[in-house]
Structure 1
Amino acid sequence: MVTIADVARHAGVAASTVSYVLSGKRSISPDTRDRVKESVRVLGYRPNASARALASQRSNVLALVIPLRTDMHVPVMMQFATAVVTTARRFDHDVLLLTADEGREGIERVAQTSLVDAMVVMDVELHDERIPVLRELSMPSVLIGHPADTAGLTCVDLDFFAAGERCVDHLADLGHRCIALLGTPSTVYERQTAFAQWTLDGFSSAAERRGIVGVETPCEHTFDAVLSTVEQLLRDHPGITGLVVQNEPIIGPLLDVLRQLGRRVPEDMSLMAICTDDFAEGQVPQLSSVALPADAIGLQAVEMLISKLEGGQVPAMTLLPAQLTARASTCPPPTRG
């Protein structure tokens, strides 16, 4: 096993100098610091995690506050979690999972211990009860999502407002004049979960701007709920020729429902989604979509958090652009005879 003494001999410095370079507790000349870091790399030295944490007064653990509710799509949540964990390991940090239903009490409890150095918070609501706590903490945090008031926070997310707009513009450019947003389950809207509300606002704004009919409705995850929702939509708005879906679990049932109702995709009904690219490409037909870059968002959240821990400056708001890919599920609306 390579020791700190081995690194010191290789670099031609004292063991204490190696310790200072690794801990950052004293100013070391750039040449010496580079020489020590090169010796660490060449020898493959890895500081003892407990000793490093003790020296830096850090735990080298990040908390991830993640939703595990039945109305959330767990596979997508796990993509975010995997990105956070993988990126944290690149920085020699582990991740402690907290469930979002622990609320502000859970955040306060963890912050009062030495379990974690910082936290990534998901499942953000427009008027989230946890926000005042996060603002008061000395512990750094990054939110995946952004509330209505972002003062004093660091947030990263897909630009869901723009995502809603892009979907409307794509269908309007194809000639659709009446479209619907099939959104998340109703409980997600009732909590005013930020990503769902920003998408709804973008959809409504773009429909008004383009002078088309835009209808919004929540949709539950069961086949019967999808069937009932679509049948009601078509009864109330028989002119609908395009659907935007922000609710991955209903895509399969929705395709079955449309076939059952005699609506071909895309000839009779254009269909697009806000979802991950691999999900969109795995459907038949492949879905036109705005990509949900879970990996990129999780990576950026951790990178910003590590930068904050090291005293760096990060932007208060980072919104990833809404990237739309047109595929086989959208086309101009059918000509009415």
Structure 2
Amino acid sequence: MVTLADVARHAGVSASTVSYVLSGKRSISAATRERIQHSIDTLGYRPHAGARALASSRTSILALMMPLRTDLHLPVMLEIAMAVTTTARAHGYDVLLLTGEEGPEAVRRVEGSAIADGMIVMDVELDDPRLPLLRQAERPFVLIGLPGDPAGLDCVDLDFEAAGARCVGHLADLGHTGVAVLGEPPAVYARGTGFAERTLTGLRATAREKGVDLLHRPVEGTYTAVSATLGRIFEERPATSALVVQNEAAVEPLLAVLRRRGRAVPEDVAVVAVCPDQVARQASVPLTAVGVPAAEMGRLAVERLVARLGGQAPSGPTLIAPELTVRESSGSHRDHGGR
């Protein structure tokens, strides 16, 4: 590995002179600077992030705060992270991935050091404890998610409230009046996670508007948990003819439980999901679903952050309109005798 000392020897100058050229702290003659730059190019020297930061006040690194929680579906998180990484590289940035559940401490660590030029923050809660520090930070940031008060913030997200509304509206239009929602694990709601709460708001509002009897049950994504929850749903509301699932891990367990119980999809029970299109398409019964545009969310977040680093002011929330794709899992309640 080529070092700063190697560059100094090749250029015939002291290591401190090379350091001054990299940092810009002292005036160095044009001839010497050119000689040092020639040595850097010839040897293929790459200054570390700290040296680059000294020279330009930039690291060309973006910090991605992606807490890896066991109650969130990892493939979706990773798809967002991959889109962030590839888009960042296209703009000349590398990505520093912070996966710990550090909360405000992670913001302090980035803000108090030269490790990144800006931050992209995921798993946003309605009353997120990181927001007070982020609002005071010198480094720009973009949220993938929508807090309770997004005023003055750059946010990118699917319009989950509209997504919930689309799901119930679709089922109501098919004649279903008894709908149960299999939601995210209980811990997601306990944290006040924005996407889950906003979906529920949209589901409930449209259910009231359409005269739909709506029942919501959080559920872990295991076969055992789904089976137990579904059993309670049918005991409490025997007239339930449609299910909305917002928990990618619960999709296949749900379809397996319905098969075991002898309930055909969609003849006996319609199923609609809020999940990535790949999950919906590859399910054992292809699901009618509002897709979660993970890659688009990651791309837009980077583009917004790069614009902020270029001097652009925050432009507020960007909510992606939900698209519901009808597949094999939803049918008319009237067409099957109202079973």
For this structure pair, what is the TM-score category when the shorter chain's length is used for normalisation?
Answer: 0.7 to 0.9
SS in 2 for 1:79: helix
1:271 and 2:271 aligned: yes
Equivalent position of 1:242 in the other structure: 242
Equivalent position of 2:337 in the other structure: 335
Equivalent position of 1:145 in the other structure: 145
Letter in 1 for 2:337: T
Using the TM superposition, give the Cα deviation of residue 49 of structure 1 relative to its aligned residue in structure 2, in angstroms. Answer: 6.9
CA contact (8 A) 1:100 1:123 kept: no
Equivalent position of 1:308 in the other structure: 308
How far apart, in 2, do the equivalents of 1:336 and 1:161 lie?
28
How far apart, in 1, do the equivalents of 2:218 and 2:232 lie?
12
SS in 2 for 1:215: strand
What is the aligned-residue identity percentage?
48
Q: Normalising to structure 2: TM-score of the pair?
A: 0.83
Equivalent position of 1:298 in the other structure: 298
How far apart, in 1, do the equivalents of 2:257 and 2:285 lie?
15
1:231 and 2:235 aligned: no
Greater gyration radius = 2
Structure 1 pair 255/160, CA: closer, same or farther in 2 (3 Å)?
same
Using the TM superposition, give the Cα deviation of residue 101 of structure 1 relative to its aligned residue in structure 2, in angstroms. Answer: 1.0
Equivalent position of 2:107 in the other structure: 107
Equivalent position of 2:185 in the other structure: 185
User: For 1:88-139, what per-residue CA distance to the aligned partner results, in whole angstroms no more than 9, with x for missing partners?
Assistant: 0001111111125100011111210000000000000000111100000011
1:192-231 equivalences under 5 Å are 192-231=192-231
Structure 1 pair 198/47, CA: closer, same or farther in 2 (3 Å)?
farther
CA contact (8 A) 1:307 1:314 kept: no
How far apart, in 2, do the equivalents of 1:249 and 1:201 lie?
22
CA contact (8 A) 1:100 1:122 kept: no
Using the TM superposition, give the Cα deviation of residue 222 of structure 1 relative to its aligned residue in structure 2, in angstroms. Answer: 1.4
Equivalent position of 2:91 in the other structure: 91
How far apart, in 2, do the equivalents of 1:327 and 1:225 lie?
26
How far apart, in 2, do the equivalents of 1:140 and 1:336 lie?
54
SS in 2 for 1:101: coil
CA contact (8 A) 1:157 1:297 kept: yes
Give the length in aligned residue pairs: 292
How far apart, in 1, do the equivalents of 2:117 and 2:104 lie?
17
Letter in 1 for 2:122: M
Equivalent position of 1:8 in the other structure: none
Structure 1 pair 313/152, CA: closer, same or farther in 2 (3 Å)?
closer
CA contact (8 A) 1:67 1:77 kept: no
Equivalent position of 2:79 in the other structure: 79
How far apart, in 2, do the equivalents of 1:155 and 1:47 lie?
38
1:5-44 equivalences under 5 Å are none
Using the TM superposition, give the Cα deviation of residue 314 of structure 1 relative to its aligned residue in structure 2, in angstroms. Answer: 4.7
How far apart, in 2, do the equivalents of 1:110 and 1:120 lie?
11
SS in 2 for 1:225: helix
How far apart, in 2, do the equivalents of 1:328 and 1:315 lie?
40
Structure 1 pair 155/47, CA: closer, same or farther in 2 (3 Å)?
farther
Structure 1 pair 157/336, CA: closer, same or farther in 2 (3 Å)?
closer
SS in 2 for 1:167: helix
CA contact (8 A) 2:285 2:328 kept: yes
Using the TM superposition, give the Cα deviation of residue 295 of structure 1 relative to its aligned residue in structure 2, in angstroms. Answer: 0.4
Equivalent position of 1:57 in the other structure: 57
Q: Normalising to structure 1: TM-score of the pair?
A: 0.84
User: For 1:270-324, what per-residue CA distance to the aligned partner results, in whole angstroms no more than 9, with x for missing partners?
Assistant: 0111111111111122100001000000000000000000002452110000111
CA contact (8 A) 1:84 1:299 kept: yes
Equivalent position of 1:257 in the other structure: 257
SS in 2 for 1:224: helix
Structure 1 pair 251/262, CA: closer, same or farther in 2 (3 Å)?
same
Show structure 1 runs of 5+ residues with no match: 1-45
SS in 2 for 1:102: coil
How far apart, in 1, do the equivalents of 2:324 and 2:62 lie?
33
Using the TM superposition, give the Cα deviation of residue 53 of structure 1 relative to its aligned residue in structure 2, in angstroms. Answer: 5.0
Structure 1 pair 222/49, CA: closer, same or farther in 2 (3 Å)?
same
Equivalent position of 1:168 in the other structure: 168
Letter in 2 for 1:335: G
Using the TM superposition, give the Cα deviation of residue 203 of structure 1 relative to its aligned residue in structure 2, in angstroms. Answer: 0.3
What's the Cα RMSD here? 1.6
Show structure 2 runs of 5+ residues with no match: 1-43
Equivalent position of 1:158 in the other structure: 158
Structure 1 pair 52/102, CA: closer, same or farther in 2 (3 Å)?
closer
SS in 2 for 1:133: helix
